[in-house]
Structure 1
């Protein structure tokens, strides 16, 4: 059981004759493209948006303007995307929150994640690592489970919010192990990390970029990867599955547009994204930021998001988590 106690940036190719909007003709793109990031400046989604937006700009021959529209667990930014003109000049960052978790967490939604968007492609998986305070005895996942069962109280853990990949991974862990855990949502990762280091939290399922330096410096102890595979930043750290607990929930980012964008524009975006993700420099920079680049084309990405939504729905229903 689990209980739950705008900064635009211009980024700098032959044009393709395509419809700009219903009944209009023109070359696309012939003006800047807006990229909506439904998260805060400086977050993992912001970093991914700017890295990939820069490469799309080079391939498409027009600036890509990244606009941060955070709030309501990505719903504010994604509502703006869904309501944008379907002309190929507005794209946005889809995630496990916007396209898998939120429909199960909110009583009402301002958009339908499947009907109101068109999938372009997956960009990267964003695995979390499980970290504990260095002063506590557990050194691997099984010793942590044994320690937790002997506490005589629920485990305390934090995340960046209900429906985040950190929250969902911890919830899945509680379901599988039967360990009761208490969730504390945070607005800032920095305070959450401090509370773990000082022992006010027992465990974090935290993004690699947020804790890598502290984990490598001994200020917190990594004990597992929450995701289906090991990660380049911690190649010797086994996954939870390798340690006997089949938690595979991981974050991810992909590219989407409003529904109704003309097929030739979607095809060109798909091609440009896939080609960009094959560039060694971009791949290295995504990895350095704690994510794992992954090419997944339009149809496969759409199917992936549907499957993720069903998986997350089962976790949310089991925990009873709600945003209201």
Structure 2
């Protein structure tokens, strides 16, 4: 029979190694990435683009699950109530910061229920008008909108497109009427026909009409020009002090062990930094922004304060 002391000595190394072994084992199975928006949009695209290199880095597949509805609130609530072991992550963006101002109540608490992991990208909008509208610059559009009633389109109350239009109206000192649509095609059609004077559209949705000569691009809403339209100035360059972009990043339910959150953070940043991933993001008009957790958290806090001020000033509410 082994001496008791001998048994203890044999067991001690295994006990000491357990935490490290557990950290190395994560993830033990496939991960679930909840995207609380419909398939085919910018959020879905970025989630799937990031998931592929992340899965290779983590050594486990990542299943992207679309749980859309209520401006992202349904899927976000599902993620908040999911496992807190690192295998359940959320992709979210601007709605994460602004929905608290747009809805009377939320089925989750963005400050209490989640921890930021890393940012993926910003999604600039592009200011477009009908090719027949007699303006060729932001300054000319502002003059036109001050001289006669003007309207701006979006794909729904509280969307990033609506918020960009509202911010532009305030920054340029205009009084424009918001015209919400339920789908991109109808909004684009009315802008191209001149029924609505202007729209702050996603670059991916406006690229075809702009390149086809049916829309004219006046400016992009990011702080820098975008490679997809290098000749289109920023709003700042055009004389309007405004940056208004959509953005997306990854979150984990609060309570995920720190070592696991750190591994997910590192895998996300590395995925976005891969040249192939960057190229795919840039092709759509978005801009890669692989911010680690601390910087991402500060960015969210700034966006929440800035966009909250806009929403309070305009009285915007979700559909």
TM-score, normalised on structure 1? 0.90
Match of 2:110 among 94, 108, 113: 113
Distance 1:110 1:279 in 2: 36
Greater helix share, 1 or 2? 2
Structure 1 runs (4+) deviating above 4 angstroms are none
Paired residue secondary structure (2:289): strand
Question: Are the aligned partners of 2:145 and 2:176 in contact in 1 as well (CA < 8 Å)?
Answer: no
Paired residue secondary structure (1:241): coil
Distance 2:73 2:180 in 1: 17
Match of 2:155 among 153, 160, 169: 160
Paired residue secondary structure (1:296): coil
Question: Are the aligned partners of 1:18 and 1:265 in contact in 2 as well (CA < 8 Å)?
Answer: no
Deviations 1:115-144 (A, max 9, x none): 110100110010001000011101110000
CA deviation after TM superposition for structure 1 residue 110, in Å:
1.3
Match of 2:294 among 296, 299, 305: 299
CA deviation after TM superposition for structure 1 residue 275, in Å:
1.0
Deviations 1:61-108 (A, max 9, x none): 11111111111111111111111111111111120112x111111111
The reply to whether residue 142 of structure 1 matches residue 139 of structure 2 is yes
Number of residues paired by the alignment?
Answer: 300
Q: How does 1:5-84 map to 2 (within 5 A)?
A: 17-18=21-22, 27-84=25-82
The reply to whether residue 204 of structure 1 matches residue 199 of structure 2 is yes
Deviations 1:230-276 (A, max 9, x none): 11101111111111111211110001111111101110011111111
CA deviation after TM superposition for structure 1 residue 161, in Å:
2.4
Q: CA RMSD in A?
A: 1.4
Greater strand share, 1 or 2? 1
5+ long unaligned stretches in structure 2: 1-19
Question: Are the aligned partners of 1:39 and 1:70 in contact in 2 as well (CA < 8 Å)?
Answer: yes
Question: Are the aligned partners of 2:228 and 2:284 in contact in 1 as well (CA < 8 Å)?
Answer: no
Q: How does 1:241-260 map to 2 (within 5 A)?
A: 241-260=236-255
Question: Are the aligned partners of 2:126 and 2:217 in contact in 1 as well (CA < 8 Å)?
Answer: yes
Question: Are the aligned partners of 1:169 and 1:247 in contact in 2 as well (CA < 8 Å)?
Answer: no
Q: Which residue of 2 aligns with 1:264?
A: 259
Match of 2:83 among 82, 85, 108: 85
Question: Are the aligned partners of 1:128 and 1:166 in contact in 2 as well (CA < 8 Å)?
Answer: yes
CA deviation after TM superposition for structure 1 residue 292, in Å:
0.3
TM-score, normalised on structure 2? 0.91
The reply to whether residue 215 of structure 1 matches residue 210 of structure 2 is yes
Larger radius of gyration: 2
Deviations 1:134-192 (A, max 9, x none): 111011100000111111x2x22222222222111111111122211222222211111
Deviations 1:17-52 (A, max 9, x none): 437xxxxxx932121111111111100111111110
Q: How does 1:220-239 map to 2 (within 5 A)?
A: 220-239=215-234
Paired residue secondary structure (2:25): strand
